[in-house]
């Protein structure tokens, strides 16, 4: 640690990693001292010769306090395993992995190596989503019905869509994780999900309905093609018959996820820096495991053509 800034290495400078790099470079909390990128190092890093570039995590040979993982989701587990031999603190983009077994393995590996692991669920840092949670707690009420919107824009090319992981893993995971936030990590009884192929050869839109006891139903609508609107919003009917909304304000209906969530992405930096400064422990493991249980169940339901399936909780 130099001064008050923590020294970190960023793995992956692709679509999100390059945006992260620009936030780190401007940060008061984090000093970006290294990048691990086997293929395409982003320009803002190339422009700064003091940032060391490595091809793999094993190659890192400079003193660092933490590693930030922005590699594609399918490489998270292997990167976490390597990173946990190098540092005491790891921050990983969402989702940690698409199966509960892998999420568990990631946290177990970190626990055994005395490493803290945190996942980048940045929507939980959004004041709108937080205000709904605060209303539920302060009024001692729960959600009766909800409709989550995940409308993505700009559209990503079909080749890229195929590398991202399916829409439940890559996009709807945010909504599943928010549902764990609002439902205090309780899983639903049933899930019904439909994947829609708009012509790209992959599901680029999807819906999912999660059924809880007492006729509580939470619905998610997700699409990669928001048609010039990036919309992360939520409408809730509470058990005391109030309608709550967030994310519908014009400034929140933006054209890109970077613009919509820039303030929320920025909040993740001091959060991680403080974990490092205070030698904090791992974050919310259960919500990460449950999110991947929902990803798996939704994928299965959609693969079965939208079959309503009971949630099976794996023995981990
Ligand atoms: N929080 C959010 O809203 C949000 C938004 C977008 C992406 N993400 C997450 O960020 C992660 C990256 O997504 P992306 O869209 O930037 O992907 P991407 O494919 O654009 O970028 C990934 C980068 O990682 C590099 N890479 C691959 N293997 C690597 C390895 N072993 N070590 C180091 N670098 C490696 C690739 O060369 C590439 O440059 C995913 O997990 C995704 O789910 C989160």
- Nearest by Cα to 137 from 188, 182, 185: 182
Residue 295 DSSP SS3: helix
Q: What is the pTM of this model?
A: 0.96
* Residue among 93, 95, 163, 169 to mutate when testing ligand 1 (max atoms within 8 A of CB): 93
Mean pLDDT of 269-281: 97
Ligand 1 atom nearest 92 alpha carbon: 41
What domains appear along the chain, each with residue ranges and CATH number?
6-122+262-284 (3.40.50.720), 124-257+291-310 (3.30.360.10)
Separation of CA 272 from chain center: 15
CA distance 123 to 68: 18
Q: How far is the CA of 291 from the centre of ligand 1 (A)?
A: 19
Q: Read off φ and ψ for residue 159, nearest 5 degrees.
A: -60, -40
CA distance 67 to 292: 23
Per-residue tokens: 17: 């990693």
Residue 179 DSSP SS3: helix
Q: How far is CA 9 from CA 24, 25, 53, 182, in A?
A: 10, 12, 9, 33
136-182 tens-digit pLDDT: 999 999 999 999 999 999 888 878 887 788 999 999 999 999 999 99
Query: Which residue has its alpha carbon closest to ligand 1 atom 28?
Result: 71
Q: What is the pLDDT of residue 19?
A: 97
Query: Which residue has its alpha carbon closest to ligand 1 atom 36?
Result: 12
- Nearest by Cα to 25 from 54, 55, 40, 46: 46
168 lines ligand 1 (CB under 6 A): no
122 lines ligand 1 (CB under 6 A): yes
17 lines ligand 1 (CB under 6 A): yes
pLDDT bin (cut points 50, 70, 90) of residue 2 is: low
pLDDT bin (cut points 50, 70, 90) of residue 91 is: very high
Per-residue tokens: 283: 């974050």
Q: What is the pLDDT of residue 1?
A: 67
């Amino acid at each position: 640690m130099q001064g008050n800034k923590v020294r970190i290495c960023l793995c992956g400078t692709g679509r999100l990693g390059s945006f992260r790099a620009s936030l780190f470079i401007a940060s008061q909390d984090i000093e970006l001292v290294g990048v691990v990128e086997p293929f395409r190092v982003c320009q803002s890093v190339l422009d700064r010769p003091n940032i060391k570039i490595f091809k793999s995590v094993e190659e890192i040979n400079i003193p660092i306090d933490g590693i930030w993982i922005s590699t594609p989701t399918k490489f998270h587990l292997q990167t976490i395993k390597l990173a946990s031999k190098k540092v005491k603190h790891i921050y990983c983009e969402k989702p940690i992995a698409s199966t509960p077994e892998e999420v568990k393995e990631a946290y177990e590996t970190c626990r055994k190596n005395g490493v803290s692991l945190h996942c980048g669920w940045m929507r939980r840092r959004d004041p709108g989503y937080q205000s709904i949670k605060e209303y539920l707690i302060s009024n001692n009420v729960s959600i009766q019905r909800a409709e989550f919107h995940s409308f993505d824009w700009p559209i990503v090319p079909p080749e890229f869509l195929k590398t991202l992981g399916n829409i439940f893993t890559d996009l709807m995971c945010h909504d599943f994780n928010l549902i764990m936030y609002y439902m205090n990590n309780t899983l639903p009884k049933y899930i019904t999900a439909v994947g829609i192929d708009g012509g790209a050869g992959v599901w680029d839109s999807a819906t999912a309905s999660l059924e809880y006891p007492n006729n509580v139903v939470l619905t998610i609508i997700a699409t990669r093609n928001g048609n010039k609107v990036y919309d992360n919003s939520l409408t809730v009917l509470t058990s005391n018959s109030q309608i709550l909304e967030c994310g519908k304000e014009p400034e929140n209906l933006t054209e890109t996820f970077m613009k919509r969530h820039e303030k929320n992405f920025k909040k993740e930096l001091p959060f991680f820096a403080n974990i490092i400064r205070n030698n904090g422990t791992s974050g919310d493991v259960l919500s990460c495991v449950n999110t991947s249980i929902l990803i798996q169940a939704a994928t299965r339901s959609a693969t079965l053509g939208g079959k309503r399936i009971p949630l099976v909780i794996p023995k981990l």
